[in-house]
Structure 1
């Protein structure tokens, strides 16, 4: 039996049977064979992007960063979109 992390809860035999019955009843799902399972590879890191972004270091006021971060995930994309919108109404000299 593999070593479990502290606090890990394993299903009971009855719960495991119910899970397997659900898998068997679902036409879009099946239980992988040990060979298929061994062929899986974990994703590591971020997915490869489209290559259109340029990485750089830039400094913003803390309150500006905090305001965007309060919007949750995707705050950097929102900053990018705000700058792009600004470019539609302003000329960069």
Structure 2
């Protein structure tokens, strides 16, 4: 007999951001944190000069059978369908030379 869907929801992990501490910071403290972050870089008009709006392509709904342990592994984190899509896209791009087809990004 097939197992019925459980209807259970994903368990979410505690966010990495301490939102309570952030809410208690004033604007000067927030700015100092941004300025000290080596990954945060200001942008100027030159940075945006070649920018283009790229609308995402709509997704198609499919039914696919996956091994339970594989699906459980992906579902451990939010956005598992997006990650599966990204992995399949990387595989497609890596193997595109076989068909000579050049799919869009």
Shorter-chain TM-score category? Answer: 0.3 to 0.5
TM-score calculated relative to the size of structure 2: 0.36
TM-score calculated relative to the size of structure 1: 0.40
The structure with the largest alpha-carbon Rg is 1
Bigger relative contact order (CA 8 A; separation at least 6): 2
